[in-house]
Chains A and B, each alone.
Chain A
Amino acid sequence: MILLEILVYGAVQSSVYALLAVGFALVFGVARVVNLFHGSFYTLGAYVTYSLGVEAGFPMVLSILCGMAAAFLLGAVLDRYVVARVRDSMIKVLIVTLALTLFFEQCVYHVFGPEHLNIPPLVGQRVTLLGVDIGGQRLLVLAVSVTVIAVLWFAVNRTRAGNALLATAQNPEAAELMKINTRRIFMVTTGLAGCMAALAGGIVSSFIMVYPKMGILPMIKAFTIVILGGLGSLGGSILAAVIIGYLETIVAFLISADITDLVPLVAIFLTLVLRPNGLFGKRFKV
């Protein structure tokens, strides 16, 4: 019984992490940027969902979509006007995006206050899956995440725009020579990543704590998962998201929920020490 519970809850958890990590991995692989602002898109998604869906009384789905649109714009602007200035220096990118994360957190704090917000779920009723009683919203999260990642997978590997993206990831200069506007690719990639993180923040907002600092830990987890999966490998990131998601769920069910946050930290430290290139990845050139 507990095995089935782990199976179902772990799948939900993994799918959220995958949704967060895939965007992070895209930006990392295509724009060569470690965007530590990523967690703030997640926060943004949750807070837009709250202010439109709860305070302004918009339909929930529309509110989540608005959050995604806002994150897309913010991501594109961030890449164009901030990251572009420091793209060559890894540490500057890290520090600027991190400082902006703190800045954003403060903005949220001043507008909404420090308290935890309650957001009603899209799907209220509980469902039984494989004999496990689970909130319908969690299953919705699983379904949405899997669908979005599948669409992204198709778009990257099968469409012309996806090819431009892959070409830029392989060699920006050569891509530029092929008349690919790499600057626009970088902007769109960062925007898309933000969009997916905001979607994650919006749909999970009913069963997690929504407060100004909520994005920090997911950001570190996304970073962990992407490094674990290896650079530029979307498949690797998804696999790593599943590993971390299930490891956390197993630890939460069998030992204690207090130590779940320790799991990704220990996992990534050991991985980097034992396999510096990540579990399945090629090395990122600094």
Chain B
Amino acid sequence: MAVGFLTALVFVPLVTDDPYLIDVLVLANIYAIFSGSWDILSGYTGKENFGHALFIGAGAYGAAYLNLLLGVPPAMNLLLGGLIGVVFGVLIGIPCLPLKGPYLALATVAAAGIAERLIMIFPRYTGGEEGLYGLSPMTSGPVTDYYVSLLLLAVTLLTLMALGYSQRGLILRSIHSDELASEASGIATNRYKLAAFAVSAFFAGMGGAFYAHYQMYTGPTYLTMIMSINVIIMCMAGGLGTIVGPVLGAYMLTISNEFLRSIGDLRVLVYTGVVVLIVLFLPRGIFATLFDYLPQKKGGG
């Protein structure tokens, strides 16, 4: 299904060259990368990271500095942004290993909040509220940008799914169900959790670097709590611990959020209202609930 979804997306630019639509789809690809990468850590192990924006921002600011100060080309920065993400993932992951639930939520909120505040406090080096402008564009045009984002999404989605459905993914799930039991069965859960932090942060950082080059800009909005929360909401809407679900959730919410622009000011009101209803009434996310109904209509097909 994931392959079908990606293949369909390959043909979009052949059907339309509307730059607005292409832009929305690039955004959807970026958020899909963020959501999928959140899911491999948090959806799988149940360690909910409320500071995913830190990894996104690390990749974005890292790419910005490398590009502006050292002239590193965008393509290279995608990889480096991911690696910078990994550094942060490990740095945050190690002290957070014993934490869970609200403790982990607060620790990760605080870590991202500290980074955001520091950027505001030292505007001379970080651009402060205005951010950093003038990054090299990712590619020469919107359609090629779109294909790069799609390629990144494909790599992210397929890697994470391969990981998620492998034995390692099963181990991550076992941490979710009963961490003590998996530890008692001889699994070094801490090592797996830390690896999940690193993988999650890698793709988030890579996505952040792409986002920065795509917008030719990096700003503190990449680092805000709203960014982290948005990613979690997309994952919950899509269904946790499935990789595909969060990716679809990101697509659905990014696109509907854009269409809601037509109602102007009321957009955020409607959006947050819908999110509350989804979490309250569709406990396993939209797609899992949808798939439950599909076979019945087709007679078990």
Contact B106 A224 (CB under 8 A): yes
Give the Cβ gap from B88 to chain A, nearest Cβ, in Å: 14
User: Smallest CB-CB separation from A263: which chain B residue?
Assistant: B117
Query: Footprint of A on B, CB under 8 Å?
Result: 48, 50, 95-96, 98-103, 105-107, 109-111, 113-114, 117-118, 121, 225-226, 229, 232-233, 236, 265-266, 268-269, 272-273, 275-276, 279-280, 283
Q: Is A90 in contact with B275, judged by CB distance below 8 angstroms?
A: no
- Interchain CB contact under 8 A, A265 and B113: yes
CB pair B102–A94 under 8 Å, yes or no, is: yes
Any chain B CB within 8 A of the CB of A95? yes
Q: Say yes or no: is A223 at the interface (Cβ < 8 Å to chain B).
A: yes
Question: In whole angstroms, how far apart are the Cα atoms of A91 and B113 in the complex?
Answer: 19
9 CB < 8 A contacts A-B: A91-B48, A95-B236, A99-B233, A102-B268, A227-B102, A262-B114, A262-B118, A265-B117, A266-B114
Chain A, residues 6-38, CB within 8 Å of chain B (1/0): the string is 000000000000000000000010000010000
Tell which of B106, B109, B225, B236 has the most Cβ of chain A within 10 Å.
B106
Q: A225-264 interface mask toward B, CB cutoff 8 Å, 1 = contact, 0 = none?
A: 0010000000000000000000000000000001101100
Q: Taking the nearest CB of chain B, how far is it from the CB of A285, in angstroms? A: 9
Q: Report yes or no: B265 in contact with A110, Cβ–Cβ below 8 A.
A: yes
Residue of B101, B105, B272 touching A106 (CB-CB under 8 A): B272
Q: Which B residues are CB-close (under 8 A) to A262?
A: 114, 117-118, 121
* Minimum Cβ distance to chain A for residue B116 (Å): 9
Q: For the complex, give the distance between the alpha carbons of A182 and B273 in Å.
A: 28
Docked Cα-Cα span, A82 to B276, in Å, equals 9
- Nearest-neighbour CB distance to chain B for A273, whole angstroms, equals 4
A54 interface hit (Cβ, 8 Å) = no
A269 and B229 within 8 A (CB): no
Cβ contact within 8 Å between A99 and B276: yes
Interface string of A75-95 (1 = CB under 8 A from B): 000000010011001111011
Q: Cβ of B280 and Cβ of A107 under 8 Å apart?
A: no
B91 CB to closest chain A CB (Å) equals 11
**Nearest CB of A to B248, in Å:** 18
Shortest Cβ distance from B95 into A: residue: A273
> How many interface residues does A have (CB within 8 Å)?
38
Contact of A96 among B98, B105, B106, B280 (CB under 8 A): B280
Q: Which of A90, A103, A224, A269 contacts B101 (CB 8 A)?
A: A90
Report yes or no: B101 in contact with A268, Cβ–Cβ below 8 A. no
- Which of B111, B113, B232 interacts with A95 by CB under 8 Å? B232
A58 within 8 A of B: no
B residues near A220, Cβ cutoff 8 Å: 109, 113
Contacts of B105 in A (CB 8 A): 34, 94
Whether B103 and A99, one on each chain, are in contact in the complex, defined by CB atoms closer than 8 angstroms, is no
Task: Find out whether the CB atom of B273 lies under 8 angstroms from the CB atom of A103.
Answer: yes
Nearest CB of chain B from residue A62's CB, rounded to whole Å: 30
* B276 → chain A closest CB, angstroms: 5
Q: Which of A90, A110, A272 contacts B269 (CB 8 A)?
A: A110
A1: Cβ under 8 A from any B Cβ: no
A85 and B268 contacting across the interface, CB-CB below 8 Å: no
Tell me which of B105, B110, B272, B283 has the highest count of chain A C-beta atoms within 10 A of its own C-beta. Answer: B110
Contact partners of B265 in chain A: CB under 8 A: 110
Judged by a CB distance under 8 angstroms, whether A180 is at the interface is no
| Inter-chain contacts of A98 with B (CB < 8 A) | 229
Asked whether A99 lies within 8 Å of B101 as measured between CB atoms, the reply is no
Whether B109 contacts A103 by the Cβ 8 Å rule is: no
Complex interface: chain A residues within 8 A of B111 (CB): 269
> Does the CB pair B117–A259 fall under 8 Å?
yes
Give Cα A28–Cα B102 distance, bound, in whole angstroms. Answer: 10
Q: Is the CB of B107 within 8 A of A268?
A: yes
Q: Does A140 contact B (CB under 8 A)?
A: no
- Decide yes or no: A265 and B110 within 8 Å by CB, A95-B233, A110-B269 being known contacts: yes
| Closest Cβ–Cβ distance, residue A277 to chain B (whole Å) | 9
Least CB separation from A283: chain B residue: B103
CB of A276 closer than 8 Å to a CB of B: yes
| Contact of B101 with A284 in the complex, beta carbons under 8 Å | yes
Q: A286: CB under 8 A from chain B? A: yes
Q: Which residues of A contact B100 (CB under 8 A)?
A: 286
Is the CB–CB distance between B276 and A272 below 8 Å? no
Task: Answer yes or no: A139 CB below 8 A from chain B CBs.
Answer: no
Alpha-carbon gap, A216 to B265, bound state (A): 21
Q: Which residues of A contact B233 (CB under 8 A)?
A: 95, 99
* Least CB distance, B136 to chain A, in whole angstroms: 33
Q: Closest CB of chain B to A241's CB: distance in Å? A: 16
* CA–CA, A164 and B222, complex, Å: 46
A103-B273, A276-B99 are known contacts; what are 6 more A-B pairs with Cβ within 8 Å?
Answer: A94-B48, A102-B226, A259-B121, A273-B107, A284-B102, A286-B101
Chain A neighbourhood of B272, CB < 8 A:
99-100, 102-103, 106
CA distance A34 to B103 in the complex (A): 11
B268 / chain A contacts, CB cutoff of 8 Å: 102, 106
Give Cα distance in the complex from A116 to B172, angstroms: 47
- Contact across chains for A96 and B279 when beta carbons are under 8 A apart: yes
* Complex alpha-carbon distance, A273 and B110, angstroms: 12
With the chains together, A113 CA to B96 CA distance in Å?
40
B residues less than 8 Å from A216 (CB atoms): 225
